[in-house]
Amino acid sequence: MELIHKALDFEIRQAGDPANRTLEFIGSTADVDRYGDIIDVAGWDLKNYQKNPVFLWAHNYGQPPVGKTLTVTKEPAALKFLVQFATAEEYPFADTIYRLYLGGFLKATSVGFSGKVSEPILGDPDEQGFRPRTGTHYKKQELYELSGVPVPALPQALMLAVQKGVVSKEEADQVVPPDPEEKGVIPFKEYPIDDPGATWKGPEEMAACADMMALKTICAWFDDAKPDVKGSYKLPHHRGDGFKVVWKGVSAAMGALLGARGGVNIPDADRKGVYGHLAKHYAQFSKTPPEFKEYGEADLIRITLGAEPNDLGFDDLFLSGLFRSADLEPITEPVQITKAGAVLNAKNKAALQQAAALIQQVLAAAETQASAPGPNKKPESYYSKALNPGDEPHGERQAEDSVDMGEIMELTKNLHLTMCPGK
């Protein structure tokens, strides 16, 4: 059975004598949570958890628990946990976590559970009547463990806790150790996904961010040498307000990482880490990410537009030439292109219509010259084995009218220069 981790909103308060180091965690009501899911309180199976009522840190099963649950009860609309933390003498790290919760610097917990009975939550139907899945309604579920977790914005909270003297810098680094090798790579965090067909405009989402912590949430990389500069944050793919993951933002970021539209200027040492971040978002949408390697122009376009590995590798020089055309705007609103067809924005649709018109000129010129009288018509004779079988050809038939290839070549050159300028 799959183990599910889900952060829940909890009200936290001290319970009883402070010397007992006991905190009360009261769970949120069974409304739709930040992931779009619903968990029925009445559906919790607590029997096995009560046999080993551990309170872990960040679902780390290889680390000793930081506390133990004294009681867990189901109230009409919430779960209630009474958790006792280990002392500083028993487990110094547990004391650090306790002080952070007691001071209000940590506010979230997460349940580890398996869903026994559930059903999908469907959104409003689109124009074709399709109702996208927006979440899961868990009706019966078994609780395995409860964890303290570093969300929603632990780095900022830890900095404040250090400034106030609640914990030392060394203790804060034990809670979330710094990663010296991938400072610029923003760690993956699971947020709710938006409708897979939702539109995406990265600059607008960046503008919607209220502070640098929000920018660090919606992007995949930042320049850690200039964390206070907005331009240091790159490859956005979350909503600036609410942080939902947007599929078109994820695919656009992956395309840029692999080299589309000139690529993105980040250190080579960070690229694999960013790829891993984006690949986890692909999994959220049940998609397979492209391989981490170099691609040609046409494949980079397909990756940017959301193609999966099976859609890559077939030749399409016209597609790559079309999007290089000087007459086209940069792709700010990704379009969906597959082998079966295309859904285009107005500007690119106009470009395709222009290309079709130029192609038609070439065909019309050849057809017109072949049928029209004039100096271009020149009778010739040739022998046909099909019409005159045998060892020696016999008889003759007037050749088809010749055409002015100079004009056709000029029209073809015009088409090529329009779609592939500078080539």
- Cβ neighbors of 413 (< 8 A, separation 6 or more) are none
**Tens-level pLDDT at each residue, the chain (423 residues):** 567 777 776 778 888 888 899 999 887 556 677 667 888 888 999 999 999 999 999 888 888 999 999 999 888 778 889 999 999 999 999 999 999 999 888 888 888 888 899 898 888 887 777 787 778 888 999 999 998 887 655 566 777 777 778 888 788 778 766 554 446 899 898 889 999 999 999 999 998 887 777 888 899 999 887 877 888 899 999 998 888 999 999 999 999 999 887 789 998 889 999 999 999 999 999 999 999 988 888 888 889 989 888 877 755 544 444 444 434 333 444 334 333 334 445 555 555 556 666 666 656 665 555 455 544 444 444 444 444 455 554 444 444 444 455 665 666 666 656 555 555
- Which residues are CB-neighbours of 216 under 8 A, at least 6 positions away? 186, 222, 227, 233
> Which amino acid would we find at residue 221?
W
Which two three-digit tokens encode residue 413? 């050159």
3-state secondary structure of 202: helix
Residues whose CB falls within 8 Å of the CB of residue 24, separated by 6 or more in sequence, listed in order: 12, 13, 14, 15, 80, 81, 82, 83
Please classify residue 106 by burial: count the beta carbons closer than 10 Å to its beta carbon, then call 0-12 exposed, 13-18 middle and 19+ buried.
buried
Whole-Å CA distances, 201 to 30, 118, 238, 331, 332:
33, 34, 10, 10, 6
| Closest-CA residue to 279 (of 209, 185, 184) | 185
Dihedral (Cα; 257, 260, 265, 269), 10-degree rounding: 30
